[in-house]
Amino acid sequence: MAFGLVVLVSGTGSLLQALLEACTDPAFGCEVRAVGSDRDHIQALRRAEAAGVPTFVHPLPPGADRDAWDAGLAEQVARFDPDLVVSAGFMKLVGRHFLARFGGRMINTHPALLPAFPGMHGARDALAYGVKISGATVILVDEGVDTGQILAQAAVDVLDGDTVDSLHDRIKVEERRLLLETVHHLARAPQPATRSAHG
């Protein structure tokens, strides 16, 4: 039985696309069982449909009960019995219900070298700060905002004349590589990762 993934998305889906393509190789040892999003009409869902992967949309309307939304998302994901949940550009934070069920087996990619520049605009914030090197990070998701245990990182040079888009596009190349390496590693050794030195 292949290592089952549920991928959560909110946008273009280039990270998802890399996973979908990797899963066509049996040696990768994984299958995307479903793709979920907080919003419809995004390219990532079209990519899943094109690959014949089930999708679901779990919107969070303004003013809705966030705790109930979180519990509902956990239910939706649990239907597909994943070994690992992958946040690939998912722009909502999961909460206590979700983490009670999937904590320790949910990863997220971030387009900056955490702990620097957490949050929704990692590439933009790094560029605005003037760093010369940024990069990509894969973490285990915990209750914080991009505060989970770091599983993998890659450095990306910031070039003169970079725009947010040019820097982010270059980071996403590394992000895709890191994500595939991390998923492949977890598929082969799926014990929940233990916290390293910082506890």
Token digits for 148?
């989970």
**Integer-rounded Cα radius of gyration of the chain:** 16
150-157 sheet: strands from edge to edge: 55-57, 30-37, 3-9, 84-87, 106-110, 133-140, 150-157
Q: Which stretch binds ligand GRF (CB under 6 A): 24-32, 99-107, 109-117, 180-188?
A: 109-117
Residue from 41, 58, 97, 110 carrying the catalytic annotation: 110
Pick 12 or 76: Cβ nearer ligand GRF: 12
Q: For ligand GRF, which residue of 125, 162, 174, 175 counts as binding (CB under 6 A)? A: 175
- What percentage of the chain's residues is helix, strand, coil (to nearest 5)? 35, 20, 40
Active site includes 110? yes
d(CA 69, CA 98): 10
Report the site for ligand GRF in 5-24 (rule: CB under 6 A): 11-16
89 near ligand GRF, judged by CB under 6 A: yes
List active site positions.
Answer: 110
Binding site for ligand GRF (CB under 6 A): 11-16, 44, 88-89, 109-111, 172, 175
